[in-house]
């Protein structure tokens, strides 16, 4: 994957993020997220909390972009109880392809097999974390989604931002924007948003890679982020960096 192509994925994600900022209602986010994910090959998606079974999934769903048929079947069969993708989400903080989720039982394998029958052939999930605990996710699937690494990074960023926008709209609270980052932390997060690695940032900023990692880690703590990608999202939303 060339740098130009990688930058194109990032630019597409940032353009879509700009579109989310104009959304005034969750239904609008639903429509824009559907269009955004379709451009990456996804036809179905769900933005939801991930409660521990035996709690059911339905009360925790924030946006439902699944088909009505699949939703009805999933709920009727109470698939959430044995859903291997949901189970894997509750044990990790990193995005993953559905195929990476272990299948510990015949029932778990059935969930995946039947999902494929409904057109959810290949899937990708982005956990949304608060510090250490995963409390929500954006999960999506389609016939032939784009699993190129840069595409998955763009989806990761896009999903976190979409979830944050939904939560802001559902809470009904206006976002307050406080300056929390130092100039060097802000510079580091700006380069992180551009997709630069710690090594690349060290060269650009004229400091050691260790110092870069220190700045990023400190920014993550200030932004209440579980990882670098979420820190970028929170920094953008707080007005700390521009894209």
30-82, pLDDT tens digit by residue?
999 999 999 999 999 999 999 889 999 998 999 999 999 999 999 999 999 99
Mean pLDDT of 98-122: 97
Mean pLDDT of 166-172: 80
Indicate the average pLDDT of the chain.
88
Higher pLDDT: 190 or 13? It is 190
Higher pLDDT: 98 or 190? It is 98
Cα 88 to Cα 92: distance, rounded to the nearest angstrom: 6
Is residue 220's pLDDT more than 60?
A: yes
What domains, with CATH codes, occur in the chain? 3-171 (3.30.450.80), 183-237 (1.10.10.10)
Q: How many CB atoms lie within 10 A of CB 64?
A: 16
Higher pLDDT: 51 or 176? It is 51
Name the least confident of 25-29, 113-117, 124-128, 177-181: 177-181
- 193 Cβ neighbours under 8 A, 6+ residues apart: 232, 235, 236, 241, 243
pLDDT recorded at residue 3? 53
Assign 195 a pLDDT band (cuts: 50, 70, 90).
confident
Assign 1 a pLDDT band (cuts: 50, 70, 90).
very low
Q: Is the Cα dihedral 181, 235, 242, 92 positive or negative?
A: positive
Is residue 243's pLDDT more than 90?
A: no
Is residue 133's pLDDT more than 80?
A: no
Is residue 131's pLDDT more than 60?
A: no
Q: How many CB atoms lie within 10 A of CB 99?
A: 12
> Which value, to the nearest 10 degrees, does the dihedral of the CA atoms of residues 45, 49, 50, 54 take?
-110
Mean pLDDT of 167-173: 75
Mean pLDDT of 150-178: 80
Angle (CA) 175 180 185, round 5°: 125
Mean pLDDT of 7-13: 78
Higher pLDDT: 17 or 125? It is 125
C-alpha distances out from residue 38 to 2, 50, 204, Å: 23, 24, 35
The string of DSSP codes covering 95-134 is: -EEGGGS---SHHHHHHHHHHHHTT--EEEEEEEEETTEE
Mean pLDDT of 16-30: 85
Cα 54 to Cα 75: distance, rounded to the nearest angstrom: 13
- Tokens, residue 87: 């189970």
């Amino acid at each position: 994957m060339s740098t130009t192509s990688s930058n194109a994925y990032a630019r597409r994600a940032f353009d879509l993020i700009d579109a989310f900022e104009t959304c005034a209602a969750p239904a609008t986010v639903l429509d824009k997220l559907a269009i955004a994910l379709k451009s990456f090959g996804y036809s179905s998606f769900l933005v939801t909390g991930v409660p521990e079974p035996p709690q059911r999934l339905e009360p925790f769903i924030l946006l439902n972009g699944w088909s009505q048929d699949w939703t009805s079947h999933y709920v009727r069969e109470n698939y959430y109880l044995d859903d291997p993708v949901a189970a894997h989400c509750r044990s990790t903080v990193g995005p993953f392809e559905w195929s990476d989720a272990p299948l510990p039982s015949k029932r778990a394998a059935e969930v995946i097999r039947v999902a494929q029958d409904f057109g959810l052939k290949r899937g990708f999930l982005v956990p949304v974390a608060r510090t250490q605990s995963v409390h929500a996710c954006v999960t999506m699937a389609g016939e032939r989604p784009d699993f190129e690494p840069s595409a998955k990074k763009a989806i990761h960023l896009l999903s976190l931002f979409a979830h944050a926008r939904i939560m802001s709209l559902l809470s009904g609270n206006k976002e307050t924007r406080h300056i929390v980052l130092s100039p060097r932390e802000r510079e580091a997060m700006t380069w992180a948003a551009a997709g630069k690695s710690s090594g690349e940032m060290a060269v650009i900023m004229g400091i050691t890679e260790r110092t870069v990692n220190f700045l990023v880690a400190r920014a993550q703590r200030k932004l209440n982020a579980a990882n670098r990608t979420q820190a970028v999202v929170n920094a953008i939303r707080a007005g700390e960096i521009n894209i």
